[in-house]
Amino acid sequence: MSNSRGRLILIEGLDRTGKTTQCTLINKNLNFDYYKFPNRETPIGKIINEYLTQNMKLCDQSIHLLFSSNRWELQNEIKTKLDAGIDCILDRYVYSGLAYSAAKNIKGMDLDWCLQPDIGLLKPDLTIFLTNDSFNNNEGFGEEIYENTKFQNDVKNIFVNKIFTTNFENVDYLNEHFKNINVTGLNIEEVYKVIVDIIDNFKIANDEYLYF
Ligand code: NYM
Ligand code: MG
């Protein structure tokens, strides 16, 4: 039996692991609609961009809520596409929101607090997590807030040891809806091949949506 709704697939990961490159290829070659978060074009996204480019200061709780709000802004559009049978690829989403905010280690902003504003958002049918063994500080790195090696290591630790574990995410989701790819030493084409293979073989069980 084939499904009538589109698949919602997320590429998550650290900065500079090639998420945007891969999503662009998937959008072009596999006919997925592409949603990148943060979307810096919306009214809220413009404020987020000011924060990331260090032109505006915001308190940690406020920027966290704006990132979530930015996902909510696009939710109806994504749901409409999926309902119409269109596959959608996400470039970062809720897990980035959790990992970058929790890595700040602010009292009261634990993972449970961070997740609250995202409760009720569509959950990806499949999350593909790109990791690397080390950060190469390639061109452009260091211009935005969060782009420093110490912080990236803290974010990685939260992703790997806190979020994508059965202490936080449920075991069925991790078994059936989650794939880890270590991209260390792989070029763009090699990573793309692995991803296409995963996507081609991934079918949703039924038309029910998953939600956070
Ligand atoms: N980021 C992204 C967050 O801190 N919270 C979020 O909810 C999302 C979606 O924004 N360093 C951070 C991670 C990145 C930064 O993302 C900008 P990108 O993919 O470099 O444009
Ligand atoms: Mg970036």
pTM to 2 decimal places = 0.97
Ligand 1 pocket: which of 60, 66, 92 to mutate (most atoms within 8 A of CB): 92
Task: Say if 107 falls within a structural domain.
Answer: yes
Number of structural domains the chain divides into: 1
Task: Say if 23 falls within a structural domain.
Answer: yes
Average pLDDT estimate for 6-10? 98
Residues in CB range of 41: below 8 A, 6 or more apart: none
According to the model, what pLDDT value does residue 60 have?
98
Please give the helix or strand (H or E) that residue 200 lies within, else none.
helix 188-200
First to last CA, the chain: 26
Query: Per residue in 68-88, pLDDT tens?
Result: 999 999 999 999 999 999 999
- Atom number of ligand 1 nearest to Cα 144: 11
Rg (CA), the chain: 17
1 pLDDT above the threshold of 60: no
According to the model, what pLDDT value does residue 73 have?
97
Task: Say if 116 falls within a structural domain.
Answer: yes
Task: Say if 211 falls within a structural domain.
Answer: no
According to the model, what pLDDT value does residue 15 have?
87
Provide the H-helix boundaries in 41-181.
Answer: 43-52, 60-83, 94-102, 111-115, 149-158, 171-176
Task: Say if 76 falls within a structural domain.
Answer: yes
Provide the β-strand partners of residue 126: 9
Query: Per residue in 104-138, pLDDT tens?
Result: 999 999 999 999 999 999 999 999 999 998 866 66
92 pLDDT above the threshold of 70: yes
- Write the CATH number for 103: 3.40.50.300
Expressed as residue numbers, the domain containing 188 is 8-199
* Average pLDDT over all residues of the chain: 96
Task: Say if 165 falls within a structural domain.
Answer: yes
The pocket around ligand 1, CB under 6 angstroms, is made up of 15, 37-38, 52, 67, 92, 96-97, 100, 146
Task: Say if 1 falls within a structural domain.
Answer: no
How distant, in Å, are the alpha carbons of 22, 113, 136, 189, 199 from that of 10?
A: 11, 22, 24, 19, 11
According to the model, what pLDDT value does residue 139 have?
67
Task: Say if 2 falls within a structural domain.
Answer: no
Q: How confident is the model at residue 58 (pLDDT cuts 50, 70, 90)?
A: very high
Report the distance separating Cα 126 and Cα 118, nearest Å. Answer: 17
Please, what sign has the CA dihedral across residues 132, 136, 96, 130?
negative
Query: Per residue in 169-197, pLDDT tens?
Result: 999 999 999 999 999 999 999 999 999 99
Residue 22 near residue 116 (C-beta atoms within 8 A): no
Q: How confident is the model at residue 141 (pLDDT cuts 50, 70, 90)?
A: confident
SS3 203: coil
